[in-house]
Amino acid sequence: MNEMTVKAPAKLNLFLEVGERMADGYHKIESIMQSVTLFDTLTVKKTEHGITFGCSNKKLEYGGNLAVSAAKLFFEQSGIKGGADVYLQKKIPVSAGLGGGSSDAAAVLRALNTLYGEPFSADELLKMGKKLGADVPFCIKRGLCRAYGIGEVLEDLPPLPRCVFAVAKGNTTVSTKEAFEILDGHGKRQIKSSDDITEMINKGNINGVCAGLYNAFEINGKCDDNIKRIMMKNNAYNALMSGSGPSVFGIFKDEADANSAAKELKAENYECFVCTPEENRP
C-alpha cells in the first residue's frame, strides 16, 4: 500500500480543569475528552524522499503546520529513508478549541506508521505524539477518555449514552497561551475533580454527565453566552465551551433539536456543525 486516506476527528472537552504551571511551561490538567464525527480528511502518500504538504485552506500551507511536523518527527524517530506527500482537506474550524491541528498530526502519524510497516507500537506512537502537543496522544487514541498529566496519561471510558452535539465557533479570537496566562492570574482557585462526571459516564447517566460539564477557562469570560442561550432554548441538556475556546458545544437528546439550534446559530452567522460521539477507535 502506497497511499491511504484517514479521518482526523475534532475533540470536545466535557470536563477541563487546569492545575499548576510546571517548570517546562506546561500545565497539569484533568480532562474528559470525546472525539466526534466532525472530521478533517488527510490523504497520505509514500514518496522516495522529502515531505510535501497541501491544504484546502491555503493559509495553512506552511512548514510549521503540525501535520508537517508530525511527518518530520516520524522519519526522524524511525530512521526510515523515505518521504511523504500529505494533503489536508480542512473542515474543523481553525483555532477553535476543537483540537483540529492536533488531530491532523495524529492522523499523519497513524497513516505513516501503517504505510511504512508499523515500525512503532501503539504506546510508542502516543509517546511520539506528546512531543508534538498535549492533545496529540488523545487524538491518536480517540473515543472517550479521562486525561491527566499534560493530557498524555489516558484512561479509557465507556461510550456515552446516545446523544447528539451541536458545535458552534464563537466570533472572538482566543490565544491558548493568553488563556492560560489569564487563568494563572486568577491566583488560588478551587481545583475541581472529574470523579463525579466520570461516575456518571460509567453509569450511563446522560443527565448526570451533562450536569457535570465544566471548563476552567470559562472563568476568563471568553465564552460566547449567546451560543449557550440558543442551544439551551433548543432543548440542549447543557452547553459548554471546549478547550480554551471560542467554540461552544451543546449536548442534545435527538438530532432534530441539535439541527434546530444549528439553523438558528447559522442564521446569526456562526459557523456550526451537528455531530455525534465517535465510538469506534482506529
**Are 125 and 239 part of one and the same domain?**
no
pLDDT confidence band for 282 (50 / 70 / 90) = low
Mean pLDDT of 77-82: 96
Rounded CA gap, 63 and 52, in Å?
9
Q: With beta carbons less than 8 A apart as the criterion, state whether 162 and 254 touch.
A: no
**Are 121 and 235 part of one and the same domain?**
no
**Are 191 and 98 part of one and the same domain?**
no
**Are 144 and 173 part of one and the same domain?**
no
Q: At 230, list the grid cell.
A: 440558543
| 268 part of a folded domain | yes
User: 3-class SS at 153?
Assistant: strand
- What CATH number is attached to the domain comprising 248? 3.30.70.890
Ramachandran bin of 243, using left for φ above 0, alpha for ψ from -120 to 50, beta for the remaining angles: left
- For residue 281, pLDDT over 70 is answered with no
Tens of pLDDT, residues 152-205 = 999 999 999 999 999 999 887 767 778 787 777 776 788 899 999 999 999 999
Cβ neighbour number for residue 217 with a 10 Å cutoff: 24
Q: At 178, list the grid cell.
A: 493568553
The pLDDT, as a whole number, for residue 280 is: 60
Domain membership of residue 264 as a residue range: 164-275
Query: Which residue do the cell numbers 446569526 mark?
Result: 268
- For residue 89, pLDDT over 80 is answered with yes
| 20 part of a folded domain | yes
Of 127, 156, 185, which marks where a domain is finished?
156
Rounded CA gap, 196 and 214, in Å?
11
Rounded CA gap, 153 and 142, in Å?
13
Tens of pLDDT, residues 110-144 = 999 999 999 999 999 999 999 999 999 999 999 99
Q: With beta carbons less than 8 A apart as the criterion, state whether 247 and 241 touch.
A: yes
Mean pLDDT of 62-77: 96
- Which stretches within the chain are classed as H helix? 66-78, 100-115, 122-132, 136-141, 176-184, 195-203, 206-211, 225-233, 255-267
- Catalytic residue set: 11, 135
- What CATH number is attached to the domain comprising 9? 3.30.230.10
Q: With beta carbons less than 8 A apart as the criterion, state whether 73 and 108 touch.
A: no
**Are 143 and 192 part of one and the same domain?**
no
**Are 227 and 145 part of one and the same domain?**
no
| 10 part of a folded domain | yes
The pLDDT, as a whole number, for residue 219 is: 85
Give the residues across from 273 on adjacent strands.
167
**Are 50 and 130 part of one and the same domain?**
yes
User: 3-class SS at 255?
Assistant: helix
**Are 126 and 7 part of one and the same domain?**
yes
Rounded CA gap, 231 and 19, in Å?
29
Q: With beta carbons less than 8 A apart as the criterion, state whether 201 and 209 touch.
A: yes
Query: Which residue do the cell numbers 465507556 mark?
Result: 158
Complete DSSP assignment for 158-218: PPPPS-EEEEEE-SS---HHHHHHHHHTT-S-----SHHHHHHHHHT-HHHHHHT-EEGGG
- In this prediction, what percent of the chain has a pLDDT beyond 90? 83
CA angle 227/230/233 to nearest 5° reads 145
Q: With beta carbons less than 8 A apart as the criterion, state whether 89 and 40 touch.
A: yes
Of 124, 156, 188, which marks where a domain is finished?
156
- For residue 54, pLDDT over 90 is answered with yes
**Are 119 and 170 part of one and the same domain?**
no
Distances (CA, A) of 243 to 32, 108, 175, 180, 210: 11, 22, 11, 11, 16
The number of distinct structural domains making up the chain is 2
Of 156, 191, 225, which marks where a domain is finished?
156
| 281 part of a folded domain | no
Mean pLDDT of 69-79: 98
Picking from 69-83, 120-134, 219-233, which range would have the lowest pLDDT averaged per residue?
219-233
**Are 151 and 188 part of one and the same domain?**
no
The pLDDT, as a whole number, for residue 214 is: 97
The pLDDT, as a whole number, for residue 178 is: 80
**Are 120 and 180 part of one and the same domain?**
no
The pLDDT, as a whole number, for residue 129 is: 97
| 138 part of a folded domain | yes
Picking from 93-102, 217-226, 250-259, which range would have the lowest pLDDT averaged per residue?
217-226
Rounded CA gap, 224 and 245, in Å?
9
| 51 part of a folded domain | yes
| 137 part of a folded domain | yes
Beta-strand relationship, 27-47 and 83-89: antiparallel
The pLDDT, as a whole number, for residue 279 is: 79
| 225 part of a folded domain | yes
**Are 110 and 195 part of one and the same domain?**
no
pTM, two decimal places:
0.95
